[in-house]
Amino acid sequence: MPEATALQIGESFVGEGVNAAHINTVLGDRNGPAGTAWATALASPSAGHVPFVAVLRPSLPVKPLTLFVTKAAPTDDAHGTLIWGPAQAGVAAGVADAVADGVIPESSTDSVVLIAAVWVNPGADDADAVYLNNRAATAAALSNGAAGEPTIDRVIQARHRPANPFYTAPE
């Protein structure tokens, strides 16, 4: 049996405005807590949040097997299409990029699983931007997780002025 993979947790935010992507990733051994969480989430959908396996094409799931979990329930058909279409394609391509770039070793792609929690803004309106931002954010989140980013020094430095696209703390 292959050696267990340490649980890697990553995060990335790419883009601006309604078409930005915010990805959280959990990568770990199929036989460990990540595998248990993956299977449990797939078998336990909730109203508006139906996890599914990300595919590069129909019947071609990306490896490692990736569970796509929406952070925002689809608000209408157009929003659902952006989730199931360009966001899913971006996540799958970002995972494949991480494997091609060696962030995830090819030798581990059958022994680990990935959970990708994905934010698609209900106001998103550009399928290509949604795709590109989710692809870049997924690859970056996986790279951050593999590298143990952020460092604690960066966290401590940023603590006095936290900021995100929706709020910046006063100085």
Per the CB < 8 A criterion, the answer to whether 36 and 84 are in contact is no
Phi, psi of 117 (to 5 degrees): -90, 125
Per the CB < 8 A criterion, the answer to whether 142 and 10 are in contact is yes
Longest CA pairwise span in the chain (Å): 53
Closest to 91 measured CA to CA, from 108, 111, 113, 115: 115
DSSP string, 35-103: HHHHHHHHH--BTTB--EE-EEETTEE-SS-EEEEESS---SHHHHHHIIIIIHHHHHHHHHHHHHTTS
Q: Which residues are marked as active site?
A: 22
Helix 88-100 vs helix 127-147: crossing angle, to nearest 10: 40
